[in-house]
Structure 1
Amino acid sequence: MSKSVPLFKIPDHQVAGHQALNGQLGPLVDESGLFYKPLKDDRGLREADFYKTLLTDDRVPDHIRKFFPKSFGTQTLEASDKSGPLPHLVMENLMSKYANPSIIDFKIGSRTWYPEATDEYIDKCFKKDRETSSLYLGFRVSGMQIYENQDLGYWKPDRKLTITYTADDVKLVLRKFVSSNQASDFKKEPDCKFASTVYGGSSGILAQLQELKSWFEEQTIYHFYSSSVLIVFDKGSLLEGKKAAPTIKLVDFALVIEGNGILDHNFLGGLCSLIKFISDTNKDC
């Protein structure tokens, strides 16, 4: 009997990063719950090396590893832009277990460029950091989607808009994220119905972020430049009165460098700022 060939498709719930739309190069997923990220340059190979190191680095506590996607090495397959075979980093598809996920991708750090970058790359990143909320908030919204209901589907603002969000915009989005009414209806005040369920509690988003923060307050192994905190929960389940455990994951490690015994103040500062925004939202709700 011949072995079946996996069916690859464009991810349904990707909110940031390069997307395999309109014949462009981007990630693919299969029906088994795997996510394939193309490794097109040195930065991609660095990310693959980071995952390989993470698996064997006993300096990373087990309770922290849960915040990283599971990785399964690399595999060569046809690129989404039909340019030919290309190595892909194979990871778990974080969205495969969610029926109707609401997601926000926060790129962490007031500085997204790494010390070894070229002057041209640094200038490009610094311009973007300065023109978005990164420089003054310590993070920016790279992308998002909020599930509304079965009829309306998702509210998914353009990423060119989300990265320009001001502090007030971020506060509003964090309220919309945990509300039962339609996120796309700007005439209605968000009801924050699910704030305590998603943000609060011993296993909510704030508790998970605090656990991650505690590690960053002491870890000097890595510096995470241009990495993101992904926040997700199944809003469809909450609308139906079911449980929907919220989750955070760290993603995007193409620009991770050695910490050399120095705290990652850039990432830690952004993480603290994000925690403050979410904590204030939870209290106000």
Structure 2
Amino acid sequence: MLKVPDHQVAGHHARDGKLGPLIDDSGRFYKPLQGDERGSKEVAFYTSFSSNARIPDHIRRFFPIFYGTQLLEASDGSGLYPHLVLQDVVSGHHNPCIIDVKIGSRTWYLQASEDYIQRSLKKDRETTSLSLGFRISGLQIYDSEESGFWRPEKKRVLGFTADDVRVVLRKFVSSNSPTDSDSEPDCSFASAVYGGSTGILAQLLELKAWFEDQTIFHFFSCSILMMYDKEAIFKGMSSGAEIKLIDFAHVVEGEGVIDHNFLGGLCSLIKMISEILTSPDENPNKTCLQDYEKNHSYLENGTTE
């Protein structure tokens, strides 16, 4: 039995008669192929990635498992439609806290159409993509059984400033309510989620080490999903913190060149999370951001400024 995902925080939703992804109870995620070349490009990426012997096993775990493609009844009622069949990466989590982070100061690639480049460039400039090297595309933070999830609207998320992003990354690992604007996020779960040998920071650093060497692919407009179970922490269990890379409709061949655009954004995200771990009680400040940008000019590589 196919159903609409409960924990999708970004992208096209299969609601109100619209075409969007579906899931089943066996842990699979069915993503409709985009009608233009993006659909075929994403299938080509998954096919290439799955069979490429140069991808280390410890890196493969950061990507959804690919099960091929399948014709399914579309969520919009339009009939049979081709879908990517992937691992449902949140299926093992109960009431998961999730942040979708689109990586890269530049989300467009040279081979794209001029219209796509201009639309992407506009969004990169209007969000934190240019200033931080990444932007938050969507999120949900579990509050309580009574309140459910805090899910800010898409327009609000895309309007996040650099300071907003810092606050959200702190709210993500706090025990106090994410809707409480009268108190600072306490970051009480930072060490359990971001820290430790298996936490999100360690996973991001492992991914960074690969991106410092890999020249197979360039990942434009891809996202890192960060997720964990807050309720598990309350019960004294492991947070289940993990990251997954998703959305590969704009991946291009690396042609022997390091993907500095993705690497730069990844480094920026790592730095921001590291600061939360080392100074959980400090308020966000703009001076830190300015100093970081001066020393990391690669965040602006590839722009037309």
Same topology, TM > 0.5: yes
Q: Is the 8 A contact 1:40 1:86 kept in 2?
A: no
User: SS of 2:273's equivalent?
Assistant: helix
Q: What's the counterpart of residue 4 of structure 1?
A: none
Q: CA deviation at 1:40?
A: 2.9
What is residue 65 of structure 2 aligned with on the other side?
Answer: 70
Q: Contact between 1:111 and 1:134, CA under 8 Å: does it hold in 2? A: yes
1:28 to 17, 22, 27: 22
Per-residue displacement from partner, 1:125-160 (whole Å, max 9, x unpaired)? 000000000011100000000001111110000121
1:239 aligns with one of 234, 243, 247: 234
Partner of residue 282, structure 1: 277
Question: Is residue 39 of structure 1 aligned with residue 33 of structure 2?
Answer: yes
The residue aligned with 1:19 is: 13
Listed one character per residue, the Cα deviations across residues 27-66 of structure 1 (whole Å, up to 9, x for unaligned) are 0001111100001322012111111111110111111101
RMSD: 0.8
Equivalent AA in structure 2 for residue 39 of structure 1: L
1:111 is displaced (CA, Å) by: 0.6
Q: Is the 8 A contact 1:100 1:237 kept in 2?
A: no
Is residue 2:62 matched to residue 1:61?
no
1:184-210, Cα deviation, whole Å (9 max, x unpaired) = 111122111110111111111111000
Which TM-score applies when normalising by structure 2? 0.90
Letter of the structure 1 residue corresponding to residue 152 of structure 2: P
Residue in 2 that maps onto 1:188: 183
One-letter code of the match for 2:69? T
Equivalent residue pairs, number: 279
Moved over 4 A (4+): none
3-state SS of 1:37 partner: strand
How does the TM-score come out when normalised to structure 1? Answer: 0.96
Residue 2 of structure 2 corresponds to 8
Identical-pair percentage:
59
Q: Give the one of 40, 44, 49 matched to 2:44.
A: 49
SS of residue paired to 1:257: strand
Residue 85 of structure 2: aligned partner? 90
What secondary structure is seen at the aligned counterpart in 1 of 2:226? strand
| Residue equivalent to 2:76 | 81
1:270 matched to 2:268? The reply is no
Please give the alpha-carbon distance, in whole angstroms, between the structure 2 residues aligned to 1:70 and 1:218: 23
- How far apart in 2 are the matches of 1:277 and 1:238? 23
- In 2, the alpha carbon distance for the partners of 1:181 and 1:16 equals 24
